[in-house]
């Protein structure tokens, strides 16, 4: 029977290309954009779960995110809280209300970042992406029948964060990347399908960072 994967933040650049990859691999995708499932708002999460009725799910991919754009001098408590809610709080609250709708061994996938090891000019972004490691270990303890993994991404070519960068800044990134190549959406699709299919991968952060040593 075809497996159904919930895609959170379904309007994201990466989500849109990944859905095509997953469908080609035989998965059905239940796309949930922010307008239907707002990860900062528990009421929206509860409404979404209620609306999904008796549907059972075979996995979740969290594609929502806030791009890094505030250094310490420009940041605010609002920005830091939003970063935290979107990356960490929202997924916890979604699982609180949705866990009983997940079939046995369902894989849950997060997107972390190369910022975990390299840092980011937005410390709230790097901190929230780093917290995904502790998050997946804790969720894996509580929901031992499910699988939790993350992919740590380097800069993805043509994504909104890439498009917003100046050419100089992009060049700085390119110099640190293997063969001067940015991450391609096809590579993400392949990695995601592997994480969905391979039941021996659990509690891992897969580095799709493209960085040189
Ligand atoms: N692109 C990269 O180079 C890169 C590198 C490292 C990690 N990542 C991570 O990979 C994931 C996908 O990245 P991307 O480039 O595809 O991102 P993107 O195109 O910038 O999209 C981010 C998505 O998150 C959604 N979102 C924001 N707040 C939300 C909320 N409260 N509830 C639900 N959805 C919300 C946005 O919804 P709206 O459409 O309504 O605004 C948007 O569709 C993110 O977690 C990102 O941090 C990306």
What is the per-residue pLDDT across 105-157, written as a single tens digit (0 to 9) for each? 999 999 999 999 999 999 999 999 999 999 999 999 999 999 999 999 999 99
What average pLDDT score do residues 77-103 get? 98
Pocket test for ligand 1, best of 31, 64, 117, 182 (most atoms within 8 A of CB): 64
Nearest CA to ligand 1 atom 46: 65
Please name the residues in contact with 57: beta carbons below 8 A apart, sequence gap of 6 or more. Answer: 4, 5, 6, 30, 98, 101, 102, 103, 106
Report the DSSP beta bridge partners of residue 107.
147
Residue 1 Cα to ligand 1 midpoint, Å, equals 30
**Quick one: which of 76, 169, 166, 89 has its CA closest to 124?**
76
How remote is the C-alpha of 165 from its chain's centroid? 21
What per-residue confidence (pLDDT) applies to 131?
Answer: 98
- Please tell me the total number of residues recorded for the chain in this structure: 213
Confidence of residue 187 (pLDDT cuts 50, 70, 90): very high
What is the per-residue pLDDT across 17-72, written as a single tens digit (0 to 9) for each? 999 999 999 999 999 999 999 999 999 999 999 999 999 999 999 999 999 999 99
Q: Phi and psi of 84, rounded to 5°?
A: -70, -45
8-state DSSP, 103: P
Cβ neighbours around 118 below 10 Å, total? 13
What average pLDDT score do residues 173-185 get? 93
How far from 60 is each of 4, 136, 161, CA to CA, in Å?
9, 13, 23
CB of residue 93 inside a 6 A radius of ligand 1: no
Residue 9 Cα to ligand 1 midpoint, Å, equals 6
E-strand ranges in 33-182 read 59-62, 107-113, 147-153
Strand order in the sheet with 59-62: 28-32, 4-8, 59-62, 107-113, 147-153, 205-208
What per-residue confidence (pLDDT) applies to 104?
Answer: 95
Confidence of residue 1 (pLDDT cuts 50, 70, 90): confident
Nearest CA to ligand 1 atom 37: 34
What's the CATH fold of domain 4-208? Answer: Rossmann fold (3.40.50)
CB of residue 185 inside a 6 A radius of ligand 1: no
CB of residue 141 inside a 6 A radius of ligand 1: no
**Quick one: which of 33, 29, 28, 27 has its CA closest to 48?**
33
CB of residue 12 inside a 6 A radius of ligand 1: yes
CB of residue 86 inside a 6 A radius of ligand 1: yes
- Predicted TM-score (pTM) of the model is 0.98
Residue 13 Cα to ligand 1 midpoint, Å, equals 7
d(CA 28, CA 5): 6
Q: What is the CA radius of gyration of the chain?
A: 17
Atom of ligand 1 nearest to the CA of 9: 34
Q: Phi and psi of 172, rounded to 5°?
A: -60, -45
What per-residue confidence (pLDDT) applies to 212?
Answer: 77
Nearest CA to ligand 1 atom 42: 12
Nearest CA to ligand 1 atom 12: 63
């Amino acid at each position: 029977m075809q497996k159904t994967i919930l895609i959170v933040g379904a309007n994201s650049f990466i989500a849109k290309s990944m859905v095509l990859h997953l469908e080609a691999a035989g998965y059905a995708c239940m796309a949930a954009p922010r307008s239907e499932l707002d990860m900062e708002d528990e009421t929206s999460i509860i409404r979404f779960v209620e609306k999904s009725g008796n549907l059972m799910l075979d996995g979740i991919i969290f594609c929502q995110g806030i791009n890094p754009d505030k250094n310490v001098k420009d940041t605010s408590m609002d920005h830091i809280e939003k970063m935290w809610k979107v990356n960490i709080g929202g997924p916890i609250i979604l699982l609180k209300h949705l866990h009983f709708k997940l079939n046995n061994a369902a894989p849950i996938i997060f997107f972390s970042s190369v910022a975990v090891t390299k840092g980011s000019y937005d410390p709230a972004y790097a901190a929230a992406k780093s917290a995904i490691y502790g998050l997946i270990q804790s969720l894996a303890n509580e929901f031992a029948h499910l699988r939790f993994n993350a992919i740590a991404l380097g800069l993805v070519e043509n994504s909104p964060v890439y498009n917003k960068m100046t050419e100089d800044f992009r060049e700085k990134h390119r110099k640190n990347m293997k063969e001067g190549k940015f991450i391609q959406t096809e590579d993400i699709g392949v990695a995601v399908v592997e994480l969905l299919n391979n039941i021996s991968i659990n509690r891992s952060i897969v580095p799709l960072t493209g960085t040189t040593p």
